[in-house]
Amino acid sequence: MAPILSIRELRKVYDGGFEALKGVSLDIEEGEILALLGPNGAGKTTLISTICGITTATSGRVSVGGFDNVAEFRAARALIGLVPQEITLEPFAKVHDTVSFSRGLFGKSADPARIEDILRKLSLWEKRDAKIMELSGGMKRRVLIAKALAHDPRILFLDEPTAGVDVELRRDMWEIVDELKAGGVTIILTTHYIEEAEAIADRVGVITGGELLLVEAKEQLMARMGQKQLEVQLTAPVGAIPDALAQHELQLVNGGGALLYTYDTRAERTGITTLLNDVAQAGLVLADVQTRESSLEDIFVGLVSGDGASADDVQGDAA
């Protein structure tokens, strides 16, 4: 099946000479949730803005549902809903009016039942006659989502949807995203909260310095890039790692009460069996063992700091 969004060699150089996107290529399948992860200034918002037509690309091509986003901008944009990062709402407008406005702007005829449905789903129905300026920050974010959904887009861009919102609202947002996905909407969200990408994304893209370092299925990424750690807790603490265990490159933790073994899940042999045998032969008695997976955050920090695989190594799935 053709991807619903196809980006090829997208470059954006701003007037001042700053290159915000350095040839980004990316395919997004219909119905998936892609999280674009990157630090501030990585190019996340520029990428979204260029796809949506808010900024013009210096070169490259974007195809939305098979339509070129410049030559066939009407058909392309009709498929897209955008929730911007900043709360940009007219303070004097009423909730219902501003959401209806967004629908009309996309050329769709008024549909009060549909607007009611959207407002109810986002817990805004009670506030439909309230002015924007009377709403809390969280409610305003909901209004932005309602506006983006008012024309029933097939692709929804959420630009840092939970930046600066409290934990409760963040969880609500994730639920909303889940519901939208269940309805078949493709969602691309940018975030610098790794926790967010880990919680809701199907695939994760890591972008920094205008380059897409990788795009991979979340689990695959964690499995591929991730390292696991095995903590061997001892019944009695030891002062140093016995010489017999030197080959395993262990760390002594918990004041000598535990040995930490780092291994690669991708390796043919993890070395766990040998390690445990050697531990027993060294005369150490195990109290407990536990394993830990590295989080996306560990992977992300590794990638953007250059410790992880290079862009060339890992871009396989991105193009």
Partner 1 sequence: MNWTAVATIYKAEMARFWRTFLQSFISPVLSTSLYFVVFGSAIGSRIQEVDGIGYGAFIVPGLIMLSVITQSISNASFGIYFPKFIGNIYEILSAPINFLEVVAGFVGAAATKSLFIGVVILCTASLFVDLDIQHPIAMVAFLVLTCLSFSLMGFIIGIWAGNFEQLQLVPLLVVTPLVFLGGSFYSISMLPPVWQTITLFNPVVYLVSGFRWAFFGQADVPVLLSLCAIGGFTLACVAVIWWIFKTGWRIRA
Chain residues in the site for partner 1 (CB under 8 A)? 14-15, 49, 52-56, 73-78, 80, 82, 84, 86, 88-93, 97, 101-102, 104-109, 147
Least separation in angstroms between CB 201 and partner 1: 23
Is 111 or 178 the residue whose CB approaches partner 1 more closely? 111
Is 84 or 308 the residue whose CB approaches partner 1 more closely? 84
Distance separating alpha carbons of residues 188 and 83, to the nearest angstrom = 10
Is 104 or 306 the residue whose CB approaches partner 1 more closely? 104
Is 93 or 309 the residue whose CB approaches partner 1 more closely? 93
Is 2 or 70 the residue whose CB approaches partner 1 more closely? 70
- Give me the residues paired with residue 13 across strands: 19
Least separation in angstroms between CB 19 and partner 1: 13
Least separation in angstroms between CB 2 and partner 1: 21
Least separation in angstroms between CB 110 and partner 1: 9
Is 152 or 202 the residue whose CB approaches partner 1 more closely? 152
Is 190 or 234 the residue whose CB approaches partner 1 more closely? 190
Is 38 or 84 the residue whose CB approaches partner 1 more closely? 84
Least separation in angstroms between CB 36 and partner 1: 18
Least separation in angstroms between CB 38 and partner 1: 19
Distance separating alpha carbons of residues 82 and 54, to the nearest angstrom = 11
Least separation in angstroms between CB 48 and partner 1: 10
DSSP annotation string for the chain = ---SEEEEEEEEE-TTS-EEEEEEEEEE-TT-EEEEE--TTSSHHHHHHHHHTSS--SEEEEEETTEETTTTHHHHHHTEEEE-SS----TTSBHHHHHHHHHHHTTPPP-HHHHHHHHHHTT-GGGTTSBGGGS-HHHHHHHHHHHHHTT--SEEEEESTTTT--HHHHHHHHHHHHHHHHTT-EEEEEES-HHHHHHH-SEEEEEETTEEEEEEEHHHHHHHH-EEEEEEEESS--SS--GGGGGG--EEEGGGTEEEEEEETTSS---HHHHHHHHHHTT--EEEEEEEEPPHHHHHHHHHTT-S--HHHHGGGT-
Least separation in angstroms between CB 107 and partner 1: 4
How far lies 318's CA from each of 97, 122, 141, 174, 181, in Å? 40, 33, 31, 25, 22
